[in-house]
Chains A and B, each alone.
Chain A
């Protein structure tokens, strides 16, 4: 079935690293995405990874994929107050994206 799950809330201090976790269900080859949504705004594509990869790094963002456990994580290094937002994990099924419920990241200064 199509199911993507995320932890709902994460609070970190400014300058610390944030790790947002996600689990997915599809066992076939697919793409996995991280989107950021600020209050009242649209979804910003942050990064994505193909399921045959283990890791992808893009500036402050690191995506780790554990295929065996179907576990995806997004690490944000040196978290800033501007990183406060909802982060959605999504899995691609055919053309469509199936999203997790979103993780609220709160960054304390």
Chain B
């Protein structure tokens, strides 16, 4: 079965640079979620979108923005990168038809800021 696709899988950036992470949800899933997992930590919710509209917002820095496109893929844009932004970024998807009960996670993008 198709899973959530994230690209790139690994990304190395320098401080103050920008980064764009992409997420392609499972086909027919209409909701995407972004989570950040720091080293040795649990995933923290950043933001979610349903039908291209922001549906919930967590601890996402103002330097980050995200959007969902008409084909349901989502992009997380990160500017003025800091060393502390180094983490694993997960995208997850679910469907309203499924009651949003099952969030399936992608393999993650490992961002390293040097």
| Chain A residues proximal to chain B, CB less than 8 Å | 31, 33, 35, 41-45, 48, 88, 92, 94-102
Contact = CB atoms under 8 A, between A and B. Distances in A.
B27 interface: no
Interface of A is mostly: strand
B79 to A, nearest CB: 23
Contact of B56 (A42, A94, A100, A101): A94
A22 B54 CA distance: 30
Interface of B: 31, 33, 35, 41-45, 48, 50, 55-56, 58, 90, 92, 100-108
A9 to B, nearest CB: 13
Given A41-B107, A41-B108, A95-B50, 10 more contacts: A35-B105, A42-B106, A45-B104, A95-B48, A96-B48, A96-B58, A97-B45, A97-B103, A98-B45, A99-B44
18 contacts: A31-B101, A35-B105, A41-B107, A42-B106, A43-B43, A43-B92, A44-B105, A45-B105, A48-B102, A92-B101, A95-B55, A95-B100, A96-B45, A96-B56, A97-B43, A97-B45, A98-B45, A99-B44
